[in-house]
Structure 1
Amino acid sequence: MAGKRIDTLSFDATLDELEGIVQQMEQGELPLEDALKQFERGIQLVRAGQLKLTQAEQKVQILLSEQDHSELVPFEPQQGE
């Protein structure tokens, strides 16, 4: 996954790559230059993940606000549920 454009990654792929970077850095075997590159990539992934979460939250808020005027109906499960 490393090197792939961050804006094309799904949220899950972003988290997976970030996890991989953390594991590499925790091992402490990366040369300083590589560790800095990985750290920079990690920061970009964190920001992208935060943006994706914010966008998802906004979508949920929009969907909920569109339904504010709808009538609430009690939930009645069907047989077998």
Structure 2
Amino acid sequence: MSRKTSVRHFEDNLSELENIVTQLESNQLSLEDALKAFEKGVKLSKDCQSVLTQAEQKVQILVEKQDGERLENFNPEDNQ
């Protein structure tokens, strides 16, 4: 899958996941439909996480190649 395709795929999956969350939060689905939506949401979430993990690995490789240094783990609390 090309980079543009994987980014588009990620964006589509994320949008669909957001729609599922909205549906589940509305409490308008039957139990059966809610379970189906939840199952699909879990799959979409795993797919999105996989794309994000791959992107993170690519960034780490690029940074290591550029500087010859190791990438430090990001800690948002250090930036406050």
The residue aligned with 2:51 is: 52
TM-score, normalised to structure 1's length? 0.69
Of Structure 1 and Structure 2, the greater helix share is in 2
- Kindly state the Cα deviation for residue 64 of structure 1 after the two structures are TM-superposed: 1.2
Matched residue count: 62
Percent identity, aligned pairs only, is 55
Unaligned runs of 5+ in 2: 1-5, 69-80
Q: Find runs of 4+ consecutive structure 1 residues off by over 2 angstroms.
A: none
The residue aligned with 2:35 is: 36
TM-score, normalised to structure 2's length? 0.70
> Counterparts of 1:31 and 1:16 in 2: how far apart (Å)?
22
- Which of the pair has more CA radius of gyration? 1
Unaligned runs of 5+ in 1: 1-6, 70-81
Render the CA deviation track for 1:9-49: whole Å, top value 9, x for unaligned: 62111110001001111111111111100000001111111
- Kindly state the Cα deviation for residue 55 of structure 1 after the two structures are TM-superposed: 0.2
